[in-house]
Amino acid sequence: MNVSPKVEAFISHFGEMGSRWGINRTVGQIYALLVATEKPLNADEISTALSISRSNTSMALKELQSWRLILPQHYPGDRKEYYKTPENTWQMAQIILEERRKRELDPTLSMLRQEILREPVSPEGEYAQNRMQEIHDLLETMDELMNQLQELTPQDIQRLKTMGPKLKKFFNIKDRLLGKKER
């Protein structure tokens, strides 16, 4: 399989960004290849296209499946499994948000709730509890926003984008009325 220079650049960037996103380079590269390729690919095709070992490819595909970011497909008469990403990029974003929430936000909120329920036994503990409460409240707000964001359709997002300048103007007026600095 030949990979065009455009797709190569995309794959390279996703590989580099992978570590910043909390995934390894190979996972990022494979995902980019699958996003940019129209037809489903099997593990051998992926390994060849990216010049990576078959075992590394298999492990990365398992990770992408655990994130629900790739869809396995089978063809009659072919024992190989083929992989494709969801066609809808909004759906991909929603899956990533949901998985990140499950893996990162939910455990942190759970730990914070447990610690906030425990009575502090010193002034330092009381200070720490207050800070934990602030973090908890911020994360709860972010969680609520993510829930609302996930309910939006791509059309809703487009409408919100066009409202951006109007919302900014509204908040600037509101802030001036309340005596706050402009944003």
DSSP-based three-state secondary structure for 112: helix
Domain positions in the chain are 5-84, 89-178
Annotate 46-68 with DSSP letters as a single string. HHHHHT--HHHHHHHHHHHHHTT
Distance from C-alpha of 74 to C-alpha of 61, rounded to nearest angstrom: 15
Residue 113 φ then ψ, to 5°: -60, -45
Strands in 41-42's sheet, in edge-to-edge order, are 41-42, 78-84, 71-75
What percent of the chain clears pLDDT 70, i.e. is strictly above it?
92
What is the band of 18 on the pLDDT scale with cuts at 50, 70, 90?
A: confident
pLDDT at 168 over 80: no
Mean pLDDT, all residues of the chain: 90
pLDDT at 89 over 60: yes
| pLDDT tens digit sequence for 126-151 | 999 999 999 999 999 999 988 888 88
Tell me yes or no: is domain 5-84 CATH 1.10.10.10: yes
| pLDDT tens digit sequence for 32-81 | 999 999 999 999 999 999 999 999 999 999 999 999 999 999 999 999 99
Strands (DSSP E) found in 17-171:
41-42, 71-75, 78-84
**Per-residue pLDDT, 155:** 86
65: which 2 tokens?
């499946």
Residues 6+ apart with CB under 8 A from 53: 47
Torsion, CA 161, CA 165, CA 166, CA 168, rounded to 10: 110
Written as one letter, the residue type at 140 is E
